[in-house]
Amino acid sequence: MKLTLPDLIKESKEVQFVSFTEVIEKATNLFRKKKGKTGPLTFSEGLVQIHPSGEALVIGDLHGDLESLITILTRSSFFRKMSKSHNSIMVFLGDYGDRGKFSVEVYYLILKLKLCFPEQVVLLRGNHEGPENLIPYPHDLPTQFKTKFKNNWQSVYRKIRELFNLLPNAAFVEERYLMIHGGLPPRLERLEDLMRANTDDELLENLLWNDPNADIKDFGPSPRGAGNLFGKKITSNVLKKLSLEVLIRSHECCEEGFKIGHGGKVLTLFSRKGPPYFNEYGAYLHLPLSEMFDNAKLLLPYIHKF
Ligand SMILES: [Mn+2]
């Protein structure tokens, strides 16, 4: 029998050590072997190419907010759309755990989605899925694992960290959008450069941690203590070099669930609500992939607040 969205939600709410471990192991195997063109996506080392046809659901930071994830999946009807058409895809922009109470459930749900629709789901790496030498603070995933899995927590934690290292760092839609969790490094000459982020600590840190800034012209240190701030000039230079039009990223809380910066060249999406943040809305993007939009302001009709 085919899994439905209500089944999947029920499973994620009931997740235990055995089912969680199993889903991590299966997803790890999938990430290890999945390379090349399958359906609407082409998977390369660290980078996913999205072909410009069909539609995408794009989701920003979730940080353990299971309720918002369920709201998005239910309202967008994308589970049904993906079951019906190969050209419907989902892109998650990273930061699935920490902060919210339901990190385990959120990881379970998104990994299970990936296993159900391996050719249609993209799970990008956020700074909360970052390398072991750059752990965000606060990182309460270990505490949540201890509470839920008791003495078994360490083995699950080891496994999920291994999986984090396999998540792609970036995705792009030909001639249109670059999708990453944080932001742009100052020098990026071609899309292929994104594939070496796993062997380049500085590049990876920039991709996962950077934020766009309206006041800074060029590039400068971030108050986060990791990554940098990048200005409008960097955005326009890098996008031009990559022949892309708009950067779609998450990583920052937005009062309205989204914000547009750098003259419409950067769209930030934030898809969770509740403490420790104070945003009134979360938002997601329902993106028609074949249409050409060269400015995030043109994407406004496709942004859904909840
Ligand atoms: Mn982040």
147 is written with which tokens?
């509470």
Distance 223 CA to ligand 1 centre (A): 14
> pLDDT digit of tens for each residue in the chain (306 aa)?
689 999 999 999 999 999 999 999 999 999 998 678 888 899 999 999 999 999 999 999 999 999 999 999 999 999 999 999 999 999 999 999 999 999 999 999 999 999 999 999 999 999 999 999 999 999 999 999 999 999 999 999 999 999 999 999 999 999 999 999 999 998 899 999 999 999 999 999 999 999 999 999 899 999 999 999 999 999 999 999 999 999 999 999 999 999 999 999 999 999 999 999 999 999 999 999 999 999 999 999 999 999
How many distinct structural domains can be found in the chain? 1
Q: Find the 279 Cα to ligand 1 centroid distance in Å.
A: 15
Domain with residue 244: its CATH number is 3.60.21.10
Domain that holds residue 141: 5-31+38-305
Ligand 1 center to 251 CA (angstroms): 4
User: Looking at this protein, which amino acid is placed at residue 45?
Assistant: E
Q: How far apart are CA 129 and CA 136, in angstroms?
A: 9
CB-based contact 287:251 (threshold 8 Å):
no
Q: Encode pLDDT of 46-58 as tens digits.
A: 999 999 999 999 9
What one-character DSSP code corresponds to residue 133? T
**What does the pLDDT look like over 257-296, one tens digit per residue?**
999 999 999 999 999 999 999 999 999 999 999 999 999 9
Helix (H) or strand (E) holding 26: helix 17-33
**What separation in Å is there between the alpha carbon of 94 and the centre of ligand 1?**
7
Q: Kindly give, in sequence order, each residue whose CB lies less than 8 Å from that of residue 263, ignoring residues fewer than 6 positions away.
A: 232, 295
Catalytic positions, please?
128
Angle at 181 between CA 45 and CA 170, to 5 degrees: 20
User: pTM above the 0.95 mark?
Assistant: yes
- C-alpha 61 to ligand 1 mean position (Å): 7
